[in-house]
């Protein structure tokens, strides 16, 4: 794997540090219900703050089509500040004069959270002008959002081309684990990939089938592959327009000697909500009005036994 710079290589004292993190946390009644993603970024934030940087957090939340109060990162501030053990200043935009004034007023070691980057279409488009506007408030860039790093957006990829760029501690740990697992691994090697969509992981899947012996696919993504094998997935999350692409990936895997492992049974329900009535069925027995919500016990056992 290509060498990358970490916080050990960065001069942080007195610097405005734009830090891309993942704060796309589950919420209910305005409160964070699972703080795992917050906990994972704490080491990076604390270290940078202790070393005297102005820590300016960039993140997305949900899939807004513009400014939208229900997708504001302001609601995450209480949980973040509590976990961090220090105040977090919220700024209601991620570019512009208000951000510049807030950053200028901050002291070394302070932590700021800027508003949802996806309130601006330029983030997902990786628009050069939006990248420039983000970069105006930073002296360096740190990416600690491994879970969003596969998307070439302004806040995840664009900034790395215009500012000195470093990996945060979470990103560093993930990259080092990938390097250990893929550069020269002990065989056989299995990769487990989940997520909602095949479309966001096409390049990843294409690369993995050439590097691993078994590729286990789960999450909503598995439904697209099941549909590609001719199975009815009911009203499950499924990218039916990418069935042909799924078949192409299976063909590449076969040519590379990689086995693609899909669920053989599933937990299904008629609606997506907390504690729904559910049953476990073979993947070929999903009713038209049911949706797959999780892999079944036989599928989990097959992955473990591999």
Query: What pLDDT, in 10s, does the model give residues 105-121?
Result: 999 999 999 999 999 99
Contact 203, 252 (CB under 8 A): no
Q: pLDDT per residue over 28-45, tens digit each? A: 888 999 999 999 999 999
Domains of the chain: 7-173 (3.40.50.1260), 185-305 (3.40.50.1260)
Distance of CA 223 to the CA centre of its chain: 20
pLDDT at residue number 218: 93
Three-class SS of residue 251? Answer: helix
Q: How many CB atoms lie within 10 A of CB 233?
A: 24
Three-class SS of residue 6? Answer: strand
Chunked in runs of 10, what are the mean pLDDT values of the chain (306 residues)?
85 98 92 94 98 98 92 96 97 97 98 97 97 98 91 94 97 87 80 84 84 93 95 94 94 95 95 87 95 94 87
Nearest 5°: CA angle at 201, between 237 and 206? 125
- Write the DSSP assignment of 213-241 as a string of letters: SEEEE-HHHHHHHHHHTT---TTSS--GG
pLDDT at residue number 2: 56
Contact 272, 293 (CB under 8 A): yes
Report how far residue 144's alpha carbon sits from residue 123's, in angstroms, rounded to the nearest whole number: 17
Report how far residue 133's alpha carbon sits from residue 84's, in angstroms, rounded to the nearest whole number: 28
pLDDT at residue number 150: 78
Three-class SS of residue 150? Answer: coil
Q: What is the value of pTM for the model shown?
A: 0.73
pLDDT at residue number 29: 86
């Amino acid at each position: 794997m290509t060498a990358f710079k970490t916080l050990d290589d960065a001069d942080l004292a007195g610097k405005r540090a734009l830090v891309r993190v993942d704060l796309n946390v589950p919420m209910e009644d305005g409160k964070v219900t699972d703080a795992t993603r917050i906990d994972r970024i704490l080491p990076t934030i604390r270290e940078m703050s202790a070393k005297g940087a102005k820590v300016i957090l960039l993140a997305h939340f949900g899939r807004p089509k513009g400014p939208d109060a229900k997708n504001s990162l302001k609601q995450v501030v209480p949980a973040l500040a509590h976990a961090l053990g220090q105040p977090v200043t919220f700024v209601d935009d991620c570019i512009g004069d208000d951000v510049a004034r807030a950053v200028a007023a901050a002291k070394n070691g302070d932590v700021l959270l800027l508003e949802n980057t996806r309130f601006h279409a330029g983030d997902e488009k990786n628009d050069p002008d939006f990248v420039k506007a983000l970069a105006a408030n930073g002296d360096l860039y740190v990416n600690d959002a491994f879970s969003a790093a596969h998307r070439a957006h302004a806040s995840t990829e664009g900034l790395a081309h215009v500012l000195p760029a470093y990996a945060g501690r979470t990103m560093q740990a993930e990259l080092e684990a990938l390097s250990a697992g893929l550069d020269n691994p002990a065989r056989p090697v299995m990769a487990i990939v989940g997520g909602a969509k095949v479309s966001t992981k096409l390049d990843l899947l294409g690369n993995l089938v050439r590097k691993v012996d078994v590729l286990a696919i789960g999450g909503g993504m598995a439904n697209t592959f099941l549909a590609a094998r001719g199975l009815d997935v009911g009203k499950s999350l499924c990218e039916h327009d990418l069935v042909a692409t799924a078949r192409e990936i299976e063909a590449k895997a076969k040519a590379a000697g990689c086995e693609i492992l899909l669920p053989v049974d599933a937990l299904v329900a008629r609606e997506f909500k907390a504690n729904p009535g559910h049953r476990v069925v073979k993947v070929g027995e999903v009713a038209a009005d049911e949706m797959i919500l999780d892999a079944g016990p036989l599928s989990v056992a097959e992955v473990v036994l591999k």
